[in-house]
Amino acid sequence: GSTNDASAQQPISGDERDRECWESLGVAPAELRCDVTLVCGQSFRWRQTSTHEWTGIIAGSMVSVEQGETDVWLCAWVDGQRARPGKALMDATR
């Protein structure tokens, strides 16, 4: 693919050093619209933390979810730093 194809597969917020912390949820933005789902009355305590990013709690862990152009991404927060989500956390999202 072209360079544009590769960049479309990466999270769009954050800088280069934290991109390795994001894990694809394997779901298209059309299936999980963060901008609609995480602000409705059925989703509690999610905060929009940047243009395409929301932060909240999943399975007791603080996480950020990002709605990209072709995918939805997840990263964990550990000791105030972004971290790649572990298997247990990824399993909790399925």
- Tell me 10's DSSP state: S
User: Which residues lie closer than 8 Å to 93 by C-beta, 6 or more apart?
Assistant: 25, 58, 74
pLDDT at 77: 94
CA quadruple 17, 20, 22, 25: dihedral, nearest 10? 160
* H helix count then E strand count, the chain: 3, 6
Q: Per-residue pLDDT for the chain (94 aa), expressed as one digit of tens each?
A: 334 444 445 666 555 556 789 999 999 989 988 888 887 766 778 999 998 899 999 888 999 999 988 899 999 999 989 999 998 999 888 8
3-class state of residue 52 by DSSP: coil
- pTM for this entry: 0.76
